[in-house]
Structure 1
Amino acid sequence: MELRQLRYFVAIVDHGSLSRAARALHVAQPALTQQIRQLEEELGAQLLHRSAQGVVSTDAGKTFHEHAQAILKQVEDARSAVAQSADKPAGTVALGIPQSVSNVLALPMLTAVRTSYPDISLQITEELTGNLTEQLKSGRINLAVLFDDGQLGAFAGAPLVEEDMMFITRAGSRFAPKGRSIALRKAAAVPMILPGLQHGVRPRIESIVRRAGLSLSQVIDINSVAILKSALLADIGATILPVAPMMSEIEHGELQAFPLNGAAISRTVVLCWSRNIPLTNAGNALKNLVMTVSGELCASGRWPGARSLHGA
């Protein structure tokens, strides 16, 4: 198996066509076809379905595509590590950010990188935390913002912030409490709109509810922050989440947030990287920049409900 075969295969999948991949790679299409055939023979599996409309990955091809991307990424990182200098980091760094954090962290990071490290190309991936964990393990991303659920031992990490969670409803909702806060017992009895179990915040909420001797009466699983907001605005339930991803709607008076009485719920946000795959100079520079930016966001109030743990 050769690196060029991996590059060819990834290009074909990404372009969805042998002819388009051949043009992008500046390789004759028959030569490209031959290399993929040799790769399939070596692996003993068909990787692509070919048709007049183009090509799509088989199940085996989808699995191999993930590994091929990770291998090519690590090869590129190795080249960058050798070529770049410590005083002027350069290269590509992939940072994974959960949906519930991207609203507050993504744009400040892009701005900070352009200002501090113009030779670094930052690639931001927004995903569910479960997906980010798998991508970090495989080396497809270099850094990931994750939530400490007690299962981050496979990674090296640095705590970023402690983020409070609140009871959030539509403004004037029938589920809103009469006062300025709500007891966890009453919150648990309301129909809850929550991310799925693969999302880092959900196990944390359910664990605290169980510890209080309670259970959630009804849960609607929604794994999209945008759709979750729409469901809140439609008043089909309430949620328990950090306020950061809802801040725009709260400031415009569309949603309202209430502290929880009796059992404070928070989550620890951690910046993680692989213990087995070394970070390049650019990766280390970005690691430090994420910690600096998150601290500045907390200090300025631009990360609402969050307390910096940098240096903790």
Structure 2
Amino acid sequence: MEFRQLRYFVAIVDHGSLSRAALVLHVAQPALTQQLRQLEEELGAQLLHRSAHGVVSTDAGKIFYEHAQAILKQVADARSAVVQSTTRPSGSVSLGLPHSISGALALPILSAARERYPEITLQLTEEITGSLAEQLKSGRLNLAVLFDDVPLGHFTGTPLVEEDLMFICRAGSAFAPAGPGVRLGDALGSTLILPARQHGVRPLVEQAAASAGLVLGAVLEINSLAILRSALLADLGATLLPVAPLLADIERGAMAAWPVVDPAVTRQVTLCASRNIPLTNAAAAIGKLVREVSEDLCARGAWPGARLRE
């Protein structure tokens, strides 16, 4: 198997046809077809379905595509690490952020990176934490912000913040509590709108309920943050989430948030990197920047419900 075959295969999948990939790669289409055929013969599997409208990956092709992408990225990172300066890091860095935290971190990190490191191309990926952990292990991400709902033993970690989950509903809702806080048992007895179990918040809520000897009541499962927000505004229920993803609605008075007590529910937020794949200078610089941005947001009170971890 040759490195160029990986590059050719990824290009074919990305562009959806052999002819478009051949134009981008500046390779004659018959030569590209031959390299693809050799790759399939070596692997003993068909990687693509071909038709008059283009190509589509087979199941084997989808698996191979992920590995090929990771290998190409690691080679690019190795080249970048060799040539870049430690004082002026450059190159591409991929950072993964969970859906429920990107509202707090994404724009501040992008702004700080553009100002501090103009020669670094920062690529942000927004995914559920389980998917981010898998991409980090395979090398498709350089860094990822993860929670304590996934095993972190495969990674090195830099503590960022401890974040409170709050009871949030539409302003004036029938679900709104009478007091300044909400006991966990009362919150769990409400109609809750929560993500499914593969999302970081849901297992945290279930674990907190089990630890307190409580039972989670009726749940509307919505994995899209945008749809969950719409359901809250329609007063279909309340939610247990950090404030950050719904802060704009809370600040304009469309929603309200109450602290959860007896017991409180918190999550640990950690910046992670692979133990097995060394960071480039650029990735290390972005990692340090993420910590600095978190410190600044907490110091200014711009990340409500979050406290810096030492």
Measured against the shorter chain, the TM-score band is over 0.9
> Is the partner of 2:165 in helix, strand or coil?
strand
Q: Which runs of 4+ in 1 moved over 6 A?
A: none
Displacement of 1:206 in angstroms is 0.8
1:29 is matched with which residue?
Answer: 29
Percent identical across equivalent pairs? 67
Partners of 1:195 and 1:167 lie apart in 2 by: 14
Are residue 287 (structure 1) and residue 287 (structure 2) matched?
yes
Partners of 2:168 and 2:233 lie apart in 1 by: 10
Matched AA of 2:252: H
Are residue 162 (structure 1) and residue 167 (structure 2) matched?
no
Task: Give matches, 1:251-290, under 5 Å.
Answer: 251-290=251-290
What does the per-residue CA deviation read over 1:239-266, in whole Å, with 9 as the maximum and x for residues that have no partner? Answer: 1010010000101111110111211011
Displacement of 1:150 in angstroms is 6.3
Partners of 2:29 and 2:285 lie apart in 1 by: 41
What does the per-residue CA deviation read over 1:52-90, in whole Å, with 9 as the maximum and x for residues that have no partner? Answer: 111110011111110000000000000001111111111
Task: Give matches, 1:4-83, under 5 Å.
Answer: 4-83=4-83
Normalised TM-score (structure 2): 0.98
What does the per-residue CA deviation read over 1:276-303, in whole Å, with 9 as the maximum and x for residues that have no partner? Answer: 0000111111110110011101111111
Partners of 1:189 and 1:166 lie apart in 2 by: 15
2:146 is matched with which residue?
Answer: 146
Q: What CA RMSD, in Å, does the superposition of the two structures yield over aligned residues?
A: 0.9
For the structure 1 residues 151 and 76, does the alpha-carbon distance in structure 2 shift closer, same or farther, using more than 3 Å as the test?
A: same
What does the per-residue CA deviation read over 1:120-161, in whole Å, with 9 as the maximum and x for residues that have no partner? Answer: 110000001011000000000000000023611110001100
Partners of 2:217 and 2:202 lie apart in 1 by: 15
2:84 is matched with which residue?
Answer: 84
Normalised TM-score (structure 1): 0.98
Unaligned runs of 5+ in 2: none
1:121 is matched with which residue?
Answer: 121
What does the per-residue CA deviation read over 1:161-212, in whole Å, with 9 as the maximum and x for residues that have no partner? Answer: 0111110011111111122222211111111111121112211111111111
For the structure 1 residues 290 and 239, does the alpha-carbon distance in structure 2 shift closer, same or farther, using more than 3 Å as the test?
A: same
2:208 is matched with which residue?
Answer: 208
Partners of 2:149 and 2:131 lie apart in 1 by: 15
Matched AA of 1:52: A
Partners of 1:231 and 1:55 lie apart in 2 by: 39
Partners of 2:136 and 2:261 lie apart in 1 by: 36
Are residue 304 (structure 1) and residue 301 (structure 2) matched?
no
> Is the partner of 1:229 in helix, strand or coil?
helix
Unaligned runs of 5+ in 1: none
Aligned 8 A contact 2:130 2:150 in 1:
no
Partners of 1:55 and 1:176 lie apart in 2 by: 53
Q: How many correspondences in the alignment?
A: 310
